Chain A
Amino acid sequence: MSTAPLLVASHLSRTYRLPSESLLGGHATLRAVDDVSLTIERGRSFGIVGESGSGKSTLARLVMALEMPDSGTVRIQGKDLLSLPASELRRHRRGFQMVFQDPYGSLDPRQRVARIVAEPLDVAEPSLPRAVRNERVAAMLEAVGLQASAAARYPHEFSGGQRQRIALARALITAPALIVADEPVSALDVSVQAQVLNLLMDLQDRHGVTYLFISHNLAVVEHIADEVGVMYRGRIVERGPAAELFAHPGHPYTLALIEAIPDPMAVVSARPPATARGESPSATSGCAFAPHCPRAQPRCLAERPELQEIAPGRRAACHYPSERRGRE
């Protein structure tokens, strides 16, 4: 097996045309994803964190070739997805699957679990004998901690956590090398979220699955990701090994995100709460975060910072990144 990275996304950009403000007015545009590159090695997890509007879900759809970028390339296992003819792309889809946030909306309520889980397999291997197919479905349901008898039931008979297991079984049935998971545990209760996260980690250990894991929850990402990219206004503003990045954030936005998370133990240790920072930033020709950045200088408004190395393996798009220091 090759040692080449499993996923290489290069310089992805995607611009949306916004509805015009007036009947005769021109259209404004929104750069949902702006020159994003990332690489994931086989069997590793890359976490994307960011708030709504950061472009993280658009990035997921671009990587899955569910949407075409304006520019840039996506290579999975060396294949350039965006240049493949439609029929060949369909054939390759078995190698990368997606899990969505909403375990209620993403499963067809009129289909039995067996059909929902088998669907990607039916597309990838339409000539598979019925008995083999059903065996694979049963084995997959058991692998995600459901009973094989679940196959005969409908989605509404299951709880949220169980539905997310069904979605995972469906994503894994073609033995994909890459799973793109967009907020896969965000709709779940804490106790169920822990079960699904453990399952994701077990599946990676057992089958060597590679994850592109998207979440607004930093603690969740810290548990599951080897490497993390922080997105803000369509760009990755900081990236690096998860433990390093969370312990010593270099970009002021990363720091703001970390400080905004309410820590239940803060009340016990009587740590003062962090100050909140502004919302709905306006566009500038410089750094998008500058209007809300405590560290902003005139240069930040004028000149857009590019991702640059701030420490070995660590990159931040900031003119004035934090010095590496202890957080105490």
Chain B
Amino acid sequence: MSILEAEHLAVSIATETGALPVVRDISFRLDRGTTLGLVGESGSGKSMTALALMRLLPEIATATGAVRLLGEDLLQADEDRLCAVRGDRMAMVFQEPMTSLNPVHRIGDQIAETLILHRGAERRAALEEAARLLDRVGIGTARARLAAYPHQLSGGQRQRVMIAMALACRPDVVIADEPTSALDVTVQAQIVDLLRGLVEEIGLALILISHDLGVIGRLADRVMVMYGGAVMEEGDTRTVFAVRAHPYTQGLFAALPSRGARKGKRLAVIPGTVPSPDALPPGCPFYGRCPRGQDVCRENTPPAVAIDGSLARCFFPGPPP
């Protein structure tokens, strides 16, 4: 059995004019020791999907479908049960470690707190475990660092502390939302290596959310390319990146400044900007910016079509004509 399964997960936000869909019909299975990447630009619904999986959505948002952790549907669970699951079986790592850590508490206590709360551990034993965790995430002289405050650490070290906190109760699933986006590239590479090591060595199931195709390419076994709340294309990462069956995936790759380009070479542009959720067409969200868009795309949900092993939700998938 997969650790985590989402089935027809959808999120909508209540507005004066009715329910506004922000995540549309997402399904996946996640196994131990594997990484699923959610990649997309702002407004693609990737962070909303993460919050829905953790049942951390704001009150105005409603999730439908099913999110099963080892068979148990979290969308049906009560708040007590969710508190027991969050931080214990499922944990989250956020983008901004400075605002996610409590600035007035020592990092050792912050990590130990999770263990005391979920495991009923004694403070001394919890601190002992916190030192072990800091060591595991690559913080040197871990025992001495237990007494440090967040501001005494660099950005990369704070992100390591966040990861140590997420790992404290040995969760089955970790959701990391842009875990490297606020970091310098050389530090980012170290955090990527750390996450990959954790997935391989302790069999963690990781959901990695990023706008960075490079980071997704380095870490994710499978990828879902999202736009306007919907999955445009999904599959094995290597296959999706090589095939690029959906016009949005093609546009995203073409817009990337590539190394070795001639100076002054113009980049391929996806015309327009990401519309707000209330301006999205009911059919394919990419309609309006898509070079292949036809009338059929505006009103109808596109079918999932497999092209060379990559699954594209598109009426006109495949290489550009």
Contacts and interface: CB of A to CB of B under 8 A. Distances in A.
Interface of A: 51-52, 159-162, 189-195, 197-198, 201, 205, 216-220, 222-226, 242-243, 246-247, 256-268, 270, 273-274, 276-280
A265 B217 contact: yes
A270 B188 CA distance: 20
A247 B262 CA distance: 12
Contact of A276 (B41, B186, B217, B267): B186
B98 interface: no
A222 B258 CA distance: 8
Contacts of B213: 190, 264
Interface of B: 41-42, 154-156, 184-190, 192-193, 211-218, 237-238, 241-242, 251-253, 255-270, 273-274
B256 A223 contact: no
A192 B267 CA distance: 11
A78 to B, nearest CB: 27
Contacts of B41: 189-192
B156 A225 contact: no
Contact of B269 (A51, A198, A226, A274): A198
29 contacts: A52-B184, A189-B42, A189-B274, A190-B213, A191-B273, A194-B256, A194-B267, A198-B266, A216-B184, A218-B259, A219-B261, A222-B260, A223-B264, A223-B267, A257-B185, A258-B259, A262-B215, A262-B218, A263-B214, A263-B259, A264-B213, A266-B214, A266-B218, A267-B237, A267-B241, A268-B241, A268-B242, A277-B189, A280-B154
Contact of A279 (B187, B259, B260, B265): B187
A225 B263 CA distance: 7
B267 A197 contact: yes
Query: Which residue among A161, A198, A222, A267 has the maximum number of chain B CB atoms within 10 Å of its CB?
Result: A267
A262 B257 contact: no
Contacts of A218: 259
A243 B263 contact: yes
A189 B252 CA distance: 10
10 closest A-B pairs by CB: A262-B214, A264-B213, A189-B41, A51-B184, A276-B189, A194-B267, A194-B255, A267-B217, A191-B270, A219-B257
A219 to B, nearest CB: 4
Nearest to B153: A280
A246 B259 contact: yes
B251 A260 contact: no
B261 A222 contact: yes
Nearest to A54: B184
B217 A159 contact: no
Q: Please classify the interface of chain A as helix (H, G, I), strand (E, B), loop, or mixed, using the class held by over half of its residues.
A: helix
B261 A256 contact: no
Contacts of A261: 185, 214, 259
A222 to B, nearest CB: 6
Given A223-B265, A268-B242, A277 B256 contact: no
Nearest to B191: A276
A260 B263 contact: no
Contacts of A260: 185-186, 188-189
Given A189-B41, A260-B188, A279-B187, A219 B193 contact: no
Contacts of B259: 218-219, 222, 246, 258, 261, 263
B261 A268 contact: no
Nearest to A162: B273
Contacts of A222: 257, 259-261, 263
A51 B241 contact: no
Nearest to A220: B257
Query: Which residue among B213, B242, B256 has the maximum number of chain A CB atoms within 10 Å of its CB?
Result: B256
A267 B212 CA distance: 14
A189 to B, nearest CB: 4
A267 B235 CA distance: 14
A224 to B, nearest CB: 7
A262 B274 contact: no
Contacts of B241: 264-265, 267-268
B260 A246 contact: yes
Contacts of A264: 213-214, 216-217, 241, 253, 256
Contact of B267 (A51, A198, A263, A274): A198
Nearest to A51: B184
Contact of A191 (B193, B242, B252): B252
